[in-house]
Structure 1
Amino acid sequence: MSVAETCQSLEKQIPRSEYPRPDWQRNDWLNLNGSWDFMFDSEDKGNNEEWYLAGCPTFAQQIHVPFSWVSPLSGIGQDVKGIAWYSRNVRWAPKQQESRVFLRFGAVDYRCDLWVNQILIGTHEGGYGAFEFDVTDVWNHEEDNRIVVRVQDDDEAYQTRGKQGYGEIRGIWQTVWLESRPQNYVASARFYTCIDGSVEITGTVQSHRPVGAVLRFFFDNGVVDHRLKLELSEGINQFRTSFQVDSPNLWSTESPYLYEGTVELESETAISGNDTISTYFGIREIGTAKFDGRDHKWITLNGKPVFLNGTLDQSFIPDGYFTFPSEDYIRDEIWRLKRLGLNFVRIHIKPEEPRKLYWADKLGVLVMEDMPCFWGEPDERARDAYEREAKEIIQRDFNHPSIISWVVFNETWGLFTKDTKDKRKYLPETQEWVRSVYKWAKQEDPTRLIEDNSPCNYDHVESDLNTWHFYLNGYEAVRSHVQEVVDKTYVGSDFNYIGGNLQTDAPLMNSECGAVWGIEGSAGDSDLAWHYRYMINEFRRHDKMCGFIFTEFHDVINEFNGYYRMDRQEKDFGYSSFCSDMSLRDLHSPDFIVIDAPPCRTVLPGQAVEVPLLASSYSDRYHGQTLQLKWEVYYDNFGDKAIAGTETVNMEWNGYGVRPLQELQLTMPQVDAVAVLTVVLQTLEGTVIARNFITFDVRSGHSNGIYAMEGEWLSVRPAAYTSSQWEYEWKALDDHKVNGASTGFFEYDIALPEGIRNASVNDIEVIFEAGAKAVLGKDKEMIAYKPSDISYMHGAKMDPGMNINSYFMSDESCHPSYVDVLVDGEPIRTICLQDDPADSRGVLSWHYQSNDRKLEEAGSYGYLQRICIPSRLTARIIEKNSFTLRLSVPEGTSEGEGGIAIYGRNTGRYPIDIIIRWK
């Protein structure tokens, strides 16, 4: 559905009509999403002219709440900072006449002033926290009520903006609703759970008058039925109570069991009414611990080690920006995480909206939630704004069992102070403030892991997690960097800490990684699969490592390194072409086989090769069992699978962490080939637990190559064409690959050996690897695009095809091309090249990259073509010992299609040039 169609649909229905807080839900409520009157106030006239009064000017526009006025789905779609006004007339009465009426806001960015029936009710500041106003005294039950909201968002340096640059969240951007409550009601409740089934609850009750009451906790159809007698005084009353759940069902990612039920306040006087809240809790514990005599800690879930396979989630939606268009979309976001085999997500520099946290609770995904940062300096106003909002966030989200960690700052953003020389410094006094925030958060929520700062500058102060960020490309760079970090991680080390602070035994994990920023001008839109696989192997080979957070879940405006496209279209990592049925899930298995070797290395035909393996286990599911390790070496022999070696061995699978296995002794094929080693961990019954693979470029060095095929052959380099004509034409990868875009041809004059005349030749075949050629902006302009300032990280919009490193990763979109094959001017075949792909199958295009920090058509590959020359032409070719081969894309090719890429020996998927074979 297009944005216009979606907006028309929103005019006819209530967007986001579901109750926004399933973790704390009352039944008597009214959703106020939908169409509101709206008007910008660029000159700030509204207050002076009293636009909140009944006779104020009619607001000229209509906006779809709850979408930011910048987003397309709002119906406004203008990135205007400053002031805007909303108004709406509402007639609604609570079911119980004596109930109190609250007007609630999921989130408004940034300052919000509320009038109801011309009366100023209150003001709130902060872009992410939920808030509410008691409007009982001004609410008319029998008449229309006029609600007026003034919002001011000036992007002030002190504002807790977080990372909004992909699309601003100005104005109302989460659900607005009315809600009734009895005169005495439960204002809050926090559930503290232990895996022995003990549950402690603290909270507050708001009482309109002194009265006796009973607070009842009823969950899981009566499994929990606990009552607490209260003597309430007027105002806020605090309470604390506890109960025991026998034989508790623990919440985990594999079994996200929720105890669903109600909290009910039963007052002794009928006029007060009863307050009933539908809610839930999960019994789980997050912690850290040492195991099996190790001197380092691991992260634990329910007392057992857990390896956090995670991703960074910007929560950005192309049309709604940071507001999801529907609950189905939200639920599917969590399913998309689960289907990758991920068990963990970091919500980046913002709290997630409650409905998404609910689905993380419901479906079982662990969540690390960030506090939104400010972008100015850490002055008193910024600190006050930050602390106020952080408190709101923890208060709102405390009961979600999925949340296991709070990150209070990210990459020292907002923590630098400029000196007189205009240099930024992370001052000692700021470090102490960060420590105080960490300690406050730890006191506010002792049940979760608190991180002081998710660092890219090695500047922890005090933290429950010892994390770091890195963005590097290239196997050797990643391997040496991770090894260095592991080696420097021990109690008392000053590495990764600042200001004289030292490492404790906080567990080590990565909190941002990937190949997007470790490349000149960023990676653009390019293959992730190659880098991702060896990076995961490097993480899993270290016993100290407790997890990682890959940047990122899905593409955003200027970062194209997600598992999914920005529109949630799937990318093709290509793993199953190497190892049957392998997917990303295999790399995220708690029980895993590490191949401790490069993703590809050059070897000789028949060479003996040793490959170290490691067992990595962060689950006790198979401990004490005998498992099978099945390995196989094979190569693609021009479309047929040729097996060079295979074996299945049994082994005992015991203990957490990483341990070495027996090295594999392999013998490489006797021919030029891309050989593949696959390893499969499975049960004795054949149930696959995890898969992995690496590759080898088996290279003979013979000018024509040595291949396992009948007859004789010669090889012609793709760049050795004798003539060509294209709209766009260029060579790549040290001239081993040639590209012709749009329409045109490459023509080769092929000279055959003299001896062929005397041979009995019946067939001549042309073999080559080719793909279509989707032309990118950089290909047309042949210019480099390199962003130079922070605005790019904030979401500066750019054509991904203009990035010097882009070669679009394979996905569901194809760019086919039809190529005519001509021999001596006669057409003999038209071939359809399905796409212009780039993923892990482009082994040689990755293996022969000359510069890891500047990619050149990395991961690109084509499709194997085998074309027999018709017998009517064979005799003539033999007679003259030559022929002319033309690969032509004719005119008339539609826009976005056409062209050809021809791959040579050091590029693509197959270690061949253009081969002419005869027999």
Structure 2
Amino acid sequence: MEIALKNKSLIGEFITSITFMFLLSPVGYAQQQWKMQALQMQSKWSKEVDIEHPHNVYPRPQMIRSDWYNLNGLWDYTITKFSSPLPTNYSGKVLVPYPIESALSGVKKSLLPDEILWYRQSFNMSKIKFNKRLLIHFGAVDYKATVYINNKEVGSHEGGYTNFSFDITNYIMEGENEIIVKVLDPTDAGVGPHGKQVLRPENIYYTATSGIWQSVWMEFIPEISISSLKIKPDVDNSKLYLQVNLMGKANDYSLEAIAKASGKLVCKHSSGTSRITTNKDTSYSSSFSLPIKNMHLWSPNDPYLYDLKIRLLYKGELVDEVESYFGMRKVEIKKDSSGIDRIFLNNTYTFNLGTLDQGYWPEGLYTAPTDEALAYDIKIIKEMGFNTIRKHIKVEPARWYYYADYYGILVWQDFVNPNQGLPPGAKQAFEKQTKETIDQLFNYPCITTWVLFNERWGAYDQQRLTEWIKKNDSTRLINGHSGEMLYVNEQLRQPSENPYASSDMADVHSYPNPMNAPYLPNKARVLGEFGGIGVPVPGHQWDDLTGWGYIQATPKELLSKYEHFIKLLGTLEKKGLTASIYTQPFDVEGEENGLLTYDRSIIKIPIKRLRQLHATLTNLDTSSIDISKLVLPKTLDINDTDERFPHLLQEFKSGRQDSCFLRRLVLMALRLKDQENATLVGNQYLNSLTNVFLKDNLNFIQHITSTSRDSGFKMFSTDSIKISKIIGRASVISTLKKVIISEEISPFLNNLSDSTREIINHNIQQKYSEFGRQLLNEELLGHYWNVKDWDNFSKYYVIYFGESKHKSKYNINNASWQLFQHCNDHRVLHFAAEIAKYNIERFDKSPNSLDTYANILYKIGKSQEALKWQEKAVVASNNNKKILNNYNKMKKGEPTWSK
């Protein structure tokens, strides 16, 4: 069953009593105001984005009305500091609904925790009549959104993964109207769930996303209208339970529910409305059941969906109408004929063969480029022979779940984990969003399992929350903690005292090889994650410098390793395993362990072979699914490896100059230690770049710059200030140091005499002036330290720290301790005492630093002062044995240094 999701024109076909018209841009104007920002890879759908109305399909497939308008498109945007008022000026255009950090947004800027992102859009309203209401809907805004209409605050919503709506009827006026959306997104610096997007560099998962990332749209509804549906199939009793919630005072109203199968009437039911009073308000709803005779059950092999229409009537006259759908299915844990606890779908044991889908896109990050792209992921996963998707740490747009329903795939839905540090407010924010997620996704038959926590990320009150979810939704399985026990190379990360309390499953993660979960009575044994074989595909990499997988494999090795995994799964299944989730269907940014590349253009194992392998674990029959229009990705060429370097080098010498090719070739040359050709190709690559001063380009140039003959070295030398502002001063200095050390210093260190040292000093100062001289002193200090030449070490300690104590490469305390132990020159030791004291005052007040300073004072004869500092060291170290021993020696007048 395919639901027609149409965006009706508001001119001519508009039939409600409120009419309005957006101020549409002239044809081609949007293209002049926006362009996709540069990025290293993109999917084929990025070229199909409709700039005027991206994602121009009805966003809510389970509650369709005809009178709506898509607000996606170009909005004004600006970024201000946290305390700024409503802005009057905007920085430019952003394409909604793509996150501000994405290339498709046209902006590609990070939103910092102390900043506010503002959106603005205008529309024109005329002929207002007041028997209709106007709602504005947001699919998702990350993280806190406040909405203003004509500079008046309408409302706000916290939570980056769930939808929200506001009634804006009382805020609009005839003529021009203005929408402003204010967004705060502190990501991991806040308290709310943020998934795998993290700002702090030391904790980066993937690029953070901020702002509007799902569709924005308006809808006209009657004064009394249908606000939501709750659909609950009961397979055992051939019934569908419905709860229809209403907006407004629905006295004397009635409801009509019509279910159809393939256009034929299944049943029709009429019901009155009921008044429900709570402590907060009074609302109206109606709950009833529909008999579903001759049930056609929903399953991955046969994803049959019924049409459902709900009509609201007042004294027999139609007031409101929504279209929906449902599927008849049930899921439970039961014992099979051998007494093993298994997952049963519709009373049939069904091995859940799944993959871990994270829902990221190179050009849109959290947002798929188009609706077709959104559907493609589900279709290609199904075509590979999987019957299950674990939707990992993300809540997708409603249409993703519709496609999962329509094409037939089981979904394990993760809740987005709490902020892992659990700062004050994090638990409340998590539970609020978890409840919203359950309510928002309750009606989709594809979702068979809720996953509460993942690998203990922010986990707390596991048993209480598992039972709370069951209370809110008894129709699904609860995986209370996926990866409660995590094995890497068959080593358990951390034991668990009470795993899987109240959960329907015992779940382990095991990388790379699959393994079984422990046996626990009445729980299904599942493998929540495994695999992670990393295979980079040149030309289809997000970051060709830092690609990652749990294990690395060549294209030739991948198939045999994957075949081995599936064979092991078959053995484990016979011993009680009932589900497995492979990591992962698509590469994600620097993770290159997908079965397909991040851009979805290359599959790494032939799709026919994948289907054959997976068929040994499932009875999945995708021939019944109409995916005839599915464009299959190209299969990876297993011979496209570094062994092709001579051939590709000849192509280069014959004139091939495209930048992707050159980039790959220079990395090949470096891996093969062919520096001559790495320099030759690398210099040509730099010449091919239209803008070398992009951060990504500079990071790559830094990586390939190994000699002074590389163009990058000259560039980093002459444009160091400009480059430092983009990638940081430390990166520039490290690049220059690497080359100078390898060419001017390292070759001579093994045969270093006074005369050689003078020659190096002369040459390096001529070429690199003071920078080179200071670098030489730094390297000589380290060299003499390593070879234990304490006389020269003492000499260069004074030279180096006399100039570089504020920016030392070396740990000052460690160097000073070595000097104390091995130097007897009191002039040098007096200098070392100054440096040690400076270190304490500026950088390091640790007990070891106090101990070092005290010992140097003691060695130069300042015994009383030394004892005072050593007492501080003893107290700070909580009577550390070594430090206390030095203190006792000082009191006795004994040497504390090696003789």
Q: Which runs of 5+ in 1 are unaligned?
A: 52-56, 416-429, 473-477, 491-502, 576-581, 593-615, 622-728, 731-736, 745-772, 784-794, 804-919
Deviation string, structure 1 residues 606-640 (Cα, Å, up to 9, x no partner): xxxxxxxxxx676899xxxxxxxxxxxxxxxxxxx
Identify which of 579, 589, 596 aligns with 1:564: 596
Q: Corresponding residue for 2:466?
A: 438
Alpha-carbon distance in 1 for matches of 2:583, 2:453: 17
Secondary structure in structure 2 of the residue aligned to 1:383? helix
The amino acid that maps onto 1:513 is F
Alpha-carbon distance in 2 for matches of 1:526, 1:201: 53
Deviation string, structure 1 residues 893-915 (Cα, Å, up to 9, x no partner): xxxxxxxxxxxxxxxxxxxxxxx
Alpha-carbon distance in 2 for matches of 1:333, 1:374: 27
The amino acid that maps onto 1:249 is H
Alpha-carbon distance in 2 for matches of 1:738, 1:358: 45
The amino acid that maps onto 2:464 is S
* Structure 1 residues 116 and 322: alpha-carbon distance in aligned structure 2, compared to 1, 3 A threshold: same
Alpha-carbon distance in 2 for matches of 1:554, 1:374: 25
Q: Which runs of 5+ in 2 are unaligned?
A: 1-30, 39-44, 198-204, 487-493, 536-546, 623-640, 651-662, 674-695, 705-899
> Are 1:390 and 2:434 an aligned pair?
yes
1:217, distance to aligned residue in structure 2 (A): 3.6
1:515, distance to aligned residue in structure 2 (A): 3.6
Alpha-carbon distance in 1 for matches of 2:36, 2:589: 17
1:12, distance to aligned residue in structure 2 (A): 4.8
Q: Corresponding residue for 2:93?
A: 62
* Structure 1 residues 395 and 169: alpha-carbon distance in aligned structure 2, compared to 1, 3 A threshold: same
Correspondence list, 1:283-294, <5 A? 283-292=328-337, 294=338
Indicate the structure whose relative CO is greater, using CA pairs within 8 Å and at least 6 residues apart: 1
Alpha-carbon distance in 2 for matches of 1:328, 1:515: 27
Alpha-carbon distance in 1 for matches of 2:552, 2:226: 51
* Structure 1 residues 211 and 285: alpha-carbon distance in aligned structure 2, compared to 1, 3 A threshold: same
Identify which of 219, 222, 231 aligns with 2:260: 219
Deviation string, structure 1 residues 25-69 (Cα, Å, up to 9, x no partner): 2211111110111100135312xxx43xxxxx2313111111100
Deviation string, structure 1 residues 499-536 (Cα, Å, up to 9, x no partner): xxxx3321111111114489997435743322211111
Deviation string, structure 1 residues 679-703 (Cα, Å, up to 9, x no partner): xxxxxxxxxxxxxxxxxxxxxxxxx
Alpha-carbon distance in 2 for matches of 1:185, 1:162: 35
Identify which of 330, 337, 355 aligns with 2:381: 337
Correspondence list, 1:123-522, <5 A? 123-140=156-173, 142-155=174-187, 156-164=189-197, 165-196=205-236, 197-208=238-249, 210-220=251-261, 221=263, 222-230=265-273, 232=275, 235-268=282-315, 274-292=319-337, 294-415=338-459, 430=460, 433-455=461-483, 456=486, 457=494, 459=496, 460-462=499-501, 463-472=503-512, 478=513, 482=515, 485=516, 489-490=518-519, 503-516=520-533, 522=550
The amino acid that maps onto 1:440 is W
Correspondence list, 1:606-625, <5 A? none
Alpha-carbon distance in 2 for matches of 1:312, 1:520: 16
* Structure 1 residues 22 and 515: alpha-carbon distance in aligned structure 2, compared to 1, 3 A threshold: closer
1:96, distance to aligned residue in structure 2 (A): 7.5
Deviation string, structure 1 residues 284-341 (Cα, Å, up to 9, x no partner): 011111121x232111111101111111111111101111111111222221112101
Any conservation in 1 of the 2:126–2:175 contact (CA below 8 Å)? no
* Structure 1 residues 383 and 333: alpha-carbon distance in aligned structure 2, compared to 1, 3 A threshold: same
Any conservation in 1 of the 2:252–2:272 contact (CA below 8 Å)? no
Alpha-carbon distance in 2 for matches of 1:449, 1:109: 28
Q: TM-score, normalised by structure 1?
A: 0.58
> Are 1:71 and 2:102 an aligned pair?
yes
Alignment root-mean-square deviation, CA: 3.5
Secondary structure in structure 2 of the residue aligned to 1:30? strand
Correspondence list, 1:744-763, <5 A? none
* Structure 1 residues 533 and 87: alpha-carbon distance in aligned structure 2, compared to 1, 3 A threshold: same
Alpha-carbon distance in 2 for matches of 1:178, 1:394: 24
Any conservation in 1 of the 2:53–2:72 contact (CA below 8 Å)? yes
Any conservation in 2 of the 1:207–1:232 contact (CA below 8 Å)? no
Q: Percent identity?
A: 28
* Structure 1 residues 296 and 175: alpha-carbon distance in aligned structure 2, compared to 1, 3 A threshold: same
Q: Corresponding residue for 1:780?
A: 670
* Structure 1 residues 550 and 10: alpha-carbon distance in aligned structure 2, compared to 1, 3 A threshold: closer
> Are 1:111 and 2:144 an aligned pair?
yes
Alpha-carbon distance in 2 for matches of 1:368, 1:213: 37
Any conservation in 2 of the 1:554–1:564 contact (CA below 8 Å)? yes
Alpha-carbon distance in 2 for matches of 1:254, 1:224: 25
Secondary structure in structure 1 of the residue aligned to 2:453? coil
Alpha-carbon distance in 2 for matches of 1:393, 1:332: 24
Count of residues paired in the alignment: 570
Alpha-carbon distance in 2 for matches of 1:94, 1:274: 21
Any conservation in 2 of the 1:115–1:121 contact (CA below 8 Å)? yes
1:777, distance to aligned residue in structure 2 (A): 3.0
1:8, distance to aligned residue in structure 2 (A): 9.3
* Structure 1 residues 742 and 218: alpha-carbon distance in aligned structure 2, compared to 1, 3 A threshold: closer
Deviation string, structure 1 residues 637-659 (Cα, Å, up to 9, x no partner): xxxxxxxxxxxxxxxxxxxxxxx
Alpha-carbon distance in 2 for matches of 1:93, 1:256: 45
Alpha-carbon distance in 1 for matches of 2:126, 2:258: 28
Correspondence list, 1:582-661, <5 A? 583-589=609-615, 592=616
Q: TM-score, normalised by structure 2?
A: 0.59
Alpha-carbon distance in 1 for matches of 2:567, 2:382: 20
Secondary structure in structure 1 of the residue aligned to 2:380? helix
Alpha-carbon distance in 2 for matches of 1:584, 1:283: 29
Alpha-carbon distance in 2 for matches of 1:402, 1:554: 21
Q: Corresponding residue for 2:571?
A: 541
* Structure 1 residues 798 and 186: alpha-carbon distance in aligned structure 2, compared to 1, 3 A threshold: farther
1:212, distance to aligned residue in structure 2 (A): 3.1
The amino acid that maps onto 1:461 is Y
Alpha-carbon distance in 2 for matches of 1:617, 1:133: 45
Secondary structure in structure 2 of the residue aligned to 1:555? coil
Q: Corresponding residue for 2:735?
A: none
Alpha-carbon distance in 2 for matches of 1:465, 1:94: 58
> Are 1:28 and 2:67 an aligned pair?
yes
Any conservation in 1 of the 2:500–2:506 contact (CA below 8 Å)? no
Alpha-carbon distance in 1 for matches of 2:127, 2:348: 48
Any conservation in 2 of the 1:553–1:564 contact (CA below 8 Å)? yes
* Structure 1 residues 274 and 802: alpha-carbon distance in aligned structure 2, compared to 1, 3 A threshold: farther
1:352, distance to aligned residue in structure 2 (A): 1.8
Secondary structure in structure 2 of the residue aligned to 1:150? strand
The amino acid that maps onto 1:223 is V
Alpha-carbon distance in 2 for matches of 1:41, 1:520: 36
* Structure 1 residues 43 and 251: alpha-carbon distance in aligned structure 2, compared to 1, 3 A threshold: closer
The amino acid that maps onto 2:151 is Q
Any conservation in 2 of the 1:741–1:774 contact (CA below 8 Å)? no
Structure in which a larger fraction of residues adopt helix? 2
Alpha-carbon distance in 2 for matches of 1:516, 1:182: 54
